Amino acid sequence: IGGSTHKVYAAKWKTWLDFMKHKGKEPWLNSMDEPEIIALLLEFMTCRLVSFNNQQSTVRGYLAAIKFYHKLCTGWEPPTSHCMITAAGKGIDRIRGMTGSKRK
């Protein structure tokens, strides 16, 4: 990845670190069972939507950064394309609308 992408990923990774610290967990998902991983990723996605009003594209960027750092540091990739994660992303699009604004 390029230098600017690396900086964006680093900022998004820090957000993930803060989220996991708040949960009292280590940031690495590779030692967890898949249902726990999926639950944590879904909770993170929900947090970014509800608390921070992020668009689906921004949430996807967070997932990409999480996947990147896991692959870089552990050689393992979290299941960010799992059907539940994909469904949650589609749900975010429905909630916010494709333009990024909340529907009334």
Q: What is the pLDDT of residue 97?
A: 72
For residue range 18-48, list pLDDT tens digits in order. 999 999 999 999 999 999 999 999 999 999 9
For residue range 62-77, list pLDDT tens digits in order. 999 999 999 999 999 9
Is pLDDT above 50 for 104? no
The per-type count for the chain, helices as H runs and strands as E runs, is 4, 0
Report field, pTM of the whole predicted structure over 0.95: no
- In sequence order, which residues have a C-beta less than 8 Å from that of residue 14 and are 6 or more positions away? none
